[in-house]
Chain A
């Protein structure tokens, strides 16, 4: 699968240079420490789900766009465009890469946050599922919107402006779901909503990515 080749290439590049992942982990750690230092445990327990998603989204926003910005900067995006591959393969490849990146960060940060914030997680498997699904939604949108960013002026400032409003539904439901998973409650409604979000947004992305690349 050609999209896998693209994902693999990006992973290889990232492993060699580590310029994105180091930054993202550092950013998350600093934020984590900052919040656990400045807020009481009681407050933290209640806002932890929102805070965690907040950290992951911000880190994600900065990191996800890099995948495409780097291609444009290096000039290699054209090299991908003239290859006999479906335009969607490029998007899927980037999504896979970004997913792996975000997971890598979460695997480190999530356990640390449990320690720092002293939160109790009643159902870790469900929490993991929530993180997985939420990630997927954010990564699809973030990867797709990166195409808009590379064509715009003031790239970095535009990322949160474009991303956050449209990601708001996902953020709301994911936060509720994460919080419920900490408390061990049922989250079937939330899962359905997140899945709906992912399906709708992915479909639009797959249908329109071709148009996004053409000139």
Chain B
């Protein structure tokens, strides 16, 4: 198992965000987290990304503990959120070069600009990008260090249909290159991308293949 979540509970003061969640994610699959707003999907993704610590329970990635080995785990993980984590007053290239230094990668950022189709906009300030371009750049930012796992937290928010399709094909490309993907969404069309999904409302209500969980054709 690539990612193992065992009896995970997260409380914020007295509010329970996640209650006794257990699931396992296989290497190389696209795993979806579905559920309404406030269901805890973002909290779960943030815990996997080492942004938040669990209140109780255990989360391991490749056997590494999410709390004790967070440094090593951060090298293996990329996060694409509905927030871009990009600096608007810097160019695309400057943004990527900055993150490349943080992650300590030697590879040229041009490769990644090309991968997301932004090589001709490398020297444009991010604030002049459209939402779709920003999200593409966010993907480039997330995969700079060639992570084994990429987490997507409602990343297609605000994208038009064409950009969204482009996004989906990039996700599939990633999976085909061996990356494990965890995707949180409340769009049915995105859910169909996934190999397996979990329906979450503070707890796991159902796990399985898409058609099993969503109960339609």
Binding site for B on A (CB under 8 A): 2, 5-6, 9, 12-13, 16-17, 74-76, 78-85, 214-215
Contact = CB atoms under 8 A, between A and B. Distances in A.
B103 A9 contact: no
Q: Is the interface of A mostly helix, strand, loop or mixed?
A: helix
Contacts of A79: 85, 99, 141
Given A13-B87, A82-B49, A215-B53, A5 B79 contact: no
Nearest to B100: A5
Contacts of B77: 82
Contact of B83 (A6, A9, A75, A215): A75
Identify which of A17, A75, A81, A82 gathers the most chain B CB atoms within 10 Å of its CB.
Answer: A82
Nearest to B67: A214
Given A12-B94, A215-B51, A215-B53, A76 B102 contact: no
Interface in B86-134: 86-90, 94, 98-99, 101-104
Contacts of B103: 83-84
B83 A83 contact: no
B195 interface: no
A84 to B, nearest CB: 4
Contact of A78 (B51, B53, B75, B99): B51
A16 B71 CA distance: 32
B172 interface: no
Contacts of A12: 90, 94
A74 B87 contact: yes
A83 B51 contact: no
Nearest to B71: A84
Nearest to B49: A82
B157 interface: no
A5 B102 contact: yes
Contacts of A74: 87-88
A78 B85 contact: yes
B87 A9 contact: yes
A9 B50 contact: no
Nearest to A71: B87
Q: Which of B51, B71, B85, B98 gathers the greatest number of chain A CB atoms within 10 Å?
A: B85
A214 B87 CA distance: 22
In order of increasing CB-CB distance, the 4 nearest A-B pairs are A79-B85, A5-B101, A75-B83, A84-B74
Interface in B136-189: 141
A83 B78 CA distance: 9
A78 B74 contact: no
Given A2-B101, A79-B99, A82-B49, A9 B90 contact: yes
A10 to B, nearest CB: 9
